[in-house]
């Protein structure tokens, strides 16, 4: 986790530069230019000095640049031009009185990618056919799968569903015909919700066909509870319940309801007392009612669905689920309605087949059939496979990865989004995943800052203190959203294509998340949502064309769910993951696992390519490197000029490093915190501070401490002075910290799908 090797490409006084200074790195031309410039610096008088010092005096955070050659003294960024000489490994404080800060060059001392790029011709593959699309050209219709004409017509005319998807075909056929338990596994966005809801509703509709002696249908709200659907979060339950209500509009004698908490238990009890035929619930709340609500009669329950099985287990519901299954078994009685099946069918649903899903299967399923989109596909033999291998991405999803050194991360993300939204209409909605809430908040401020206004103000010589500026910004955001979560994405908007920026994370109140997400879902303008994993699972957002994983997911499983927000039900989609040169490059193997063909369609790009496309253009006066550097310098000044933003940047940086340590154990070798170049990383947060000096009130001390913690942890108990008996080993401490961090994130995520978009 070194921060050495960082290039300090700033001006320093004569007392520091020795005439015999050696210049290393770069080409011979660079070194020669550097030598000449150094000599030149020593001899020339600097008319720009006074101005620079004045600027620094106005702002205690402003870096004073010292002496520069005459033609380069316009702005401090001129010192950072890529064409400027570089002395690799040279590290000098930018100002003798402020040794904690320095400006480093963007384009020097960046590590090279370890793995060579595969030859292009080998990578060219035909566009893949969508694997999660409705099969419009096929012979299957909802009617010939066995759904009643009434239900099929309702799907077609009211819900505009013309044909089933592959997983719906397999599961409707199986679940209508047989009584076996089932495990439904299919890709993200393949319509799994309808895959279990449609046969279930059809079976309950069929029960109604039988008439009693008074010639009445036998099913109405108080004829018994026939089905329970369990989902891990309140909001996923709401999402399912909305879909269910839409289907039941064609069979309004069947009544569904939810018990998910968030309201008085008394109201839930009253609802149960009135009678329901299908119940959607969270496990915790169901257990509570099973124990305490007499009105909840489960003797007729013949269908139990466990949706998002992996997440139910991730969130620690194993015990509750075990208890529920036992109680349902114990309380089951023969029904007075003759056509009600004698045994209960349990259906487990998941996009991935992890070990914990298998465990849930063992708890809840008996002689289950594995329902897949393609019934001819062989079952994975899990005994000799890594659990992370058990996921598939939609084949039409175009995935790529970018090898971007730490210093170039921020500019590369900006360039990529600039390029993406350059042409109106090419991309409507993009989601950018980041590691944690502080990182999201900082980038939201940065990308929405009003650069033109700031520049105008500077050229007018107008002074505004940070507070005025903040107030002005708050007012502006207020206009777009009452919660400050929506703002113009100025960093990548063009006059022809304004982009709306949204932010979303688990630290926002639920109502704000719901409102923000609703706005993103409904927006007809181009828009970007910067978010944490809070938005990674279960969310069904329309028209998301692009997913960018600026920070790779904390597990392969999360990655699957993140990229699953695009390329849904047969639509096209693109996904890009940012990786740093070094151990992170090994993550490509994880990306490849999601493809049936070993990832031939996976493409690679790098920072220079992205920057050229994003910052290049028609301006002949400056090349893309200069423009990139100008932009970076500008954001560094913006952060320095305003204490609020500076603190946000520092907080984001610190939280990011901490979050980095929480990758799952299986992936920690690919995201090794010891390889993280903290000095370079600071640049991606517009910071000029030395890593060890980045301390934020309310957070633990600087990264030096974090670094020590992790070094100690990785080196085992050696660095730990406490006796093993007295305290857990440092490795355990780190694992425990990582576990807590993940638990915290999960806690946030649990509230995350609380987006009732309907």
Ligand X SMILES: Nc1ncnc2c1ncn2[C@@H]1O[C@H](COP(=O)(O)OP(=O)(O)OP(=O)(O)O)[C@@H](O)[C@H]1O
Question: Which residues contribute to the site for ligand X (CB under 6 A)?
Answer: 134, 161, 164-165, 168, 186, 188-194, 351, 538, 540, 564, 568-569
Least Cβ distance, residue 630 to ligand X (angstroms): 41
Strand, helix or coil for residue 8: coil
CA distances from 303 to 178, 332, 368, 447, 712 (A): 13, 12, 14, 49, 52
DSSP state of 308: S
Least Cβ distance, residue 624 to ligand X (angstroms): 37
Q: What's the 3-state SS for 470-487?
A: HHHHHHHHHHHCCCCCEE
Least Cβ distance, residue 232 to ligand X (angstroms): 12
Least Cβ distance, residue 9 to ligand X (angstroms): 46
Burial 139-157 (b: 16+ CB within 10 A, else e): ebbbeebebbeebbebbee
| Dihedrals phi, psi of 578, to nearest 5 degrees | -85, 130
Question: Of the candidates 351, 333, 350, which has an alpha carbon nearest to the alpha carbon of residue 342?
Answer: 333
Least Cβ distance, residue 387 to ligand X (angstroms): 18
Nearest residue to ligand X, scored by beta-carbon proximity:
191
Q: Where are the alpha helices (DSSP H) in 293-354?
A: 309-314, 318-331
Least Cβ distance, residue 167 to ligand X (angstroms): 7
DSSP state of 423: S
Task: CB nearer to ligand X: give 199 or 489.
Answer: 199
Count of CB atoms within 10 A of residue 511's CB?
10
Least Cβ distance, residue 751 to ligand X (angstroms): 17
Least Cβ distance, residue 701 to ligand X (angstroms): 40
- Paired with 229 in beta bridges are 280, 305
Task: CB nearer to ligand X: give 165 or 632.
Answer: 165
Q: Are 613 and 411 in contact (CB under 8 A)?
A: no
Burial 31-51 (b: 16+ CB within 10 A, else e): bebbbebbeebeeeebebbee
CA distances from 648 to 18, 482, 662 (A): 38, 21, 21
Task: CB nearer to ligand X: give 369 or 569.
Answer: 569
Task: CB nearer to ligand X: give 196 or 550.
Answer: 196
Task: CB nearer to ligand X: give 34 or 312.
Answer: 312
Host H or E run for residue 545 = strand 544-549
Least Cβ distance, residue 228 to ligand X (angstroms): 18
- Paired with 401 in beta bridges are 577, 604
Strand, helix or coil for residue 543: coil
Least Cβ distance, residue 721 to ligand X (angstroms): 48
Q: What's the 3-state SS for 50-82?
A: HHHHHHHHHCCCCCCCCCCCHHHCCCHHHHHCC
Task: CB nearer to ligand X: give 348 or 676.
Answer: 348
Least Cβ distance, residue 243 to ligand X (angstroms): 7
Least Cβ distance, residue 236 to ligand X (angstroms): 8
Task: CB nearer to ligand X: give 65 or 172.
Answer: 172
Task: CB nearer to ligand X: give 78 or 753.
Answer: 753
Question: Of the candidates 271, 277, 279, 292, which has an alpha carbon nearest to the alpha carbon of residue 240?
Answer: 279
**Alpha-carbon gap, residue 637 to 76, rounded angstroms:** 9
**Alpha-carbon gap, residue 342 to 403, rounded angstroms:** 58
Q: Which residue has the tokens 């425990």?
A: 736
Question: Of the candidates 583, 589, 586, which has an alpha carbon nearest to the alpha carbon of residue 386?
Answer: 589
Task: CB nearer to ligand X: give 530 or 563.
Answer: 563
Task: CB nearer to ligand X: give 348 or 673.
Answer: 348
Task: CB nearer to ligand X: give 257 or 564.
Answer: 564
Task: CB nearer to ligand X: give 194 or 287.
Answer: 194
Least Cβ distance, residue 568 to ligand X (angstroms): 5
**Alpha-carbon gap, residue 752 to 252, rounded angstroms:** 31
- Paired with 431 in beta bridges are 529, 547
Residues in the chain: 758
Alpha-carbon torsion (563, 565, 571, 573), positive or negative: negative
Least Cβ distance, residue 188 to ligand X (angstroms): 4
Task: CB nearer to ligand X: give 104 or 165.
Answer: 165
Q: Are 243 and 193 in contact (CB under 8 A)?
A: yes
Task: CB nearer to ligand X: give 167 or 272.
Answer: 167
Task: CB nearer to ligand X: give 243 or 741.
Answer: 243
Task: CB nearer to ligand X: give 562 or 688.
Answer: 562
Least Cβ distance, residue 520 to ligand X (angstroms): 15
Q: Is 91 exposed, middle or buried (0-12, 13-18, 19+ CB in 10 A)?
A: middle
Question: Of the candidates 553, 595, 558, which has an alpha carbon nearest to the alpha carbon of residue 577?
Answer: 553
Least Cβ distance, residue 162 to ligand X (angstroms): 7
**In terms of C-beta distances under 8 Å and separation of at least 24 residues, what long-range contacts does 505-510 make, across chains too?**
505/436, 505/437, 505/440, 505/441, 505/531, 505/532, 505/534, 505/748, 506/437, 506/532, 506/534, 506/745, 506/747, 506/748, 506/749, 506/751, 506/752, 507/437, 507/748, 508/483, 510/751, 510/754
């Amino acid at each position: 986790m070194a921060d050495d090797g960082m290039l300090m490409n700033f001006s320093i006084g004569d007392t520091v530069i020795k005439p015999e200074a050696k210049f290393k790195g770069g080409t011979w031309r660079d070194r020669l230019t550097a030598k000449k410039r150094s000599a030149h610096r020593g001899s020339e008088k600097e008319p720009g000095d006074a101005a620079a010092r004045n600027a620094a005096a106005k702002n205690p955070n402003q870096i004073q640049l010292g002496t520069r050659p005459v033609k380069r003294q316009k702005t401090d960024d001129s010192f950072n031009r890529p064409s400027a000489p570089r002395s690799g490994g040279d590290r000098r404080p930018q100002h003798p009185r402020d040794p904690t800060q320095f400006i480093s060059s963007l384009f020097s001392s960046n590590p090279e990618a370890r793995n060579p790029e595969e030859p292009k011709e080998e990578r060219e593959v035909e566009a893949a056919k969508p694997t999660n699309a409705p099969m419009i050209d096929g012979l299957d219709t909802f009617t010939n799968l066995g759904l009643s004409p009434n239900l099929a017509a309702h799907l077609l005319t009211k819900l505009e569903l013309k044909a089933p998807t592959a997983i719906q075909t397999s599961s409707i056929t199986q679940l209508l015909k047989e009584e076996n338990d089932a495990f439904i596994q299919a890709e993200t966005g393949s319509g799994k919700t309808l895959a279990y809801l449609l046969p279930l509703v059809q079976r309950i509709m069929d029960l109604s066909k039988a008439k009693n002696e008074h010639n009445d249908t036998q099913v109405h709200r108080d004829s018994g509870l026939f089905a329970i659907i369990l989902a891990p979060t309140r909001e996923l339950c709401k999402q399912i319940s909305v879909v269910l209500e839409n289907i039941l509009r064609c069979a309004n004698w069947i009544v569904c309801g939810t018990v998910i908490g968030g309201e008085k238990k008394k109201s839930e009890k009253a609802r149960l007392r009135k009678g329901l035929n299908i119940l959607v619930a969270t496990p915790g709340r169901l257990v509570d009612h099973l124990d305490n609500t007499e009105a909840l009669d489960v003797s007729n329950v013949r269908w139990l669905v466990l949706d998002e099985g992996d997440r139910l287990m991730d969130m620690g519901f194993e015990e509750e689920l075990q208890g529920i299954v036992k109680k349902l078994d114990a309380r089951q009685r023969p029904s007075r309605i003759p056509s009600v099946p004698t045994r209960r069918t349990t259906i487990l649903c998941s996009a991935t087949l992890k070990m914990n899903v298998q465990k849930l299967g063992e708890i809840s399923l008996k002689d289950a059939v594995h329902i897949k989109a393609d019934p001819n596909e062989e079952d994975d033999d899990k005994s000799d496979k890594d659990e992370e291998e058990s996921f598939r991405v939609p084949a039409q999803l175009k995935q790529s990865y970018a090898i971007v050194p730490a210093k170039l991360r921020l500019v590369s993300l900006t360039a990529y989004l600039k390029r993406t939204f350059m042409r109106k209409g090419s991309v409507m909605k993009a989601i950018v995943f980041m590691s944690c809430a502080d990182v999201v908040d900082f980038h939201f401020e940065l990308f929405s800052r009003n650069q033109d206004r700031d520049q105008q103000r500077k050229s007018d010589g107008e002074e505004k203190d940070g507070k005025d500026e903040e107030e002005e910004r708050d007012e502006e955001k207020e206009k777009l959203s009452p919660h400050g979560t929506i703002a113009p994405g100025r960093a990548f908007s063009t006059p022809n294509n304004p982009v709306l920026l949204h932010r979303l994370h688990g630290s926002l109140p639920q109502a704000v998340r719901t409102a923000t997400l609703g706005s993103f879902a409904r927006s007809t303008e181009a828009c970007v949502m910067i978010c944490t994993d809070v938005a990674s699972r279960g969310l069904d957002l329309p028209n998301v064309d692009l997913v960018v994983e600026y920070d790779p997911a904390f597990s392969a499983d999360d990655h699957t769910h993140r990229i699953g927000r695009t390329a849904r039900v047969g639509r096209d989609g693109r996904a890009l993951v940012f990786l740093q040169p070094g151990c992170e490059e090994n993550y490509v193997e994880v990306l490849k696992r999601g493809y049936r063909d070993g990832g031939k369609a996976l493409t690679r790009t790098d920072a220079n390519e992205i920057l050229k496309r994003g910052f290049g253009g028609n301006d002949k006066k400056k090349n893309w490197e200069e423009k990139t550097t100008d932009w970076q310098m500008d954001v560094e000044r913006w952060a320095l000029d305003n204490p609020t933003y500076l603190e946000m940047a520092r907080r984001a940086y610190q939280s990011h490093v901490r979050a980095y340590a929480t990758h799952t154990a299986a992936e920690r070798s690919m995201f090794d915190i010891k390889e993280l170049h903290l000095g370079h990383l600071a640049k991606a947060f517009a910071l000029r501070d030395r890593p060890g000096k980045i301390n934020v009130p309310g957070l633990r001390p600087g990264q030096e401490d974090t670094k020590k913690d992790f070094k100690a942890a990785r080196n085992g108990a050696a660095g730990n002075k406490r006796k093993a008996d007295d305290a857990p080993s440092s490795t355990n401490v780190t694992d425990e910290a990582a576990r807590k961090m993940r638990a915290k994130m999960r806690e946030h995520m649990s509230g995350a799908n609380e987006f009732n978009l309907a």
